[in-house]
Amino acid sequence: MSKTIKSEYAMKDGQEMISWTKYSDMQKERPSEILNNCYSLTDSIYDGLDLKVEIQSVANQKLGDTILLTDNKSNKLLGLAICHCGPNTEAGSNTCYVKFGSVTASEDRSKSANFDELIECCEIFAASQGLSKLAAGVNIGNFHAYRKLLSKGFRTEFQGVMMTENNDPGYPIEDVYAIDDWR
């Protein structure tokens, strides 16, 4: 799914409760802690799902960045989005491609609200990179995430079929807000 993005965004009510940063801005300060927090989040949606190598690879190869969404009160990681940007990446020209993204709920905010925020942060990040298109893959099994992307103006570019070993359903579950690689 993809959408054309705008370059300016206004602050909304409730946004002061959370903030976002890029992994590239934080990786020198406390990389192990950040990567472990990312693992805790991804492991919570699917046992053993570990994207540390992907996060580091995107940073080391300068393919884009990873957006980190944090609860300002508890300092808990609420979401992440691994983004490829522009030519010579999986995104392609003028595009920011969210290779993987997911959120969790917090004490004060739902998964749905945090997913809204993560998508908006990705749009802001893409615009800051001079890109005009945001692409994100989603399994319709992640029904709420799929409906949310549609409501935000994303449109289907192509449909695929998921094949899993031993019919493992993975994390395409209705209430899991996840974006993943469907290219």
Q: Are 170 and 49 in contact (CB under 8 A)?
A: no
Helix ranges, 8-156 (H): 23-26, 31-45, 52-60, 111-128, 143-151
Summarize pLDDT for 126-141 with one digit per residue, the tens: 999 999 999 999 988 8
The answer to which of 21-35, 92-106, 107-121, 148-162 has the lowest mean pLDDT is 148-162
End-to-end CA separation in angstroms for the chain: 10
Buried b vs exposed e over 62-77: b needs ≥16 C-beta within 10 Å? ebbbbbbbbbeeeebb
Angle at 63 between CA 60 and CA 66, to 5 degrees: 80
Q: What are the chain's domains?
A: 2-179 (3.40.630.30)
**56: which residues sit within 8 A by CB, 6+ positions away?**
35
How far is 129 from 68, CA to CA, in rounded Å? 17
The answer to which of 55-59, 142-146, 157-161 has the lowest mean pLDDT is 157-161
Q: Indicate the length of the chain as a whole number.
A: 183
Summarize pLDDT for 48-58 with one digit per residue, the tens: 999 999 999 99
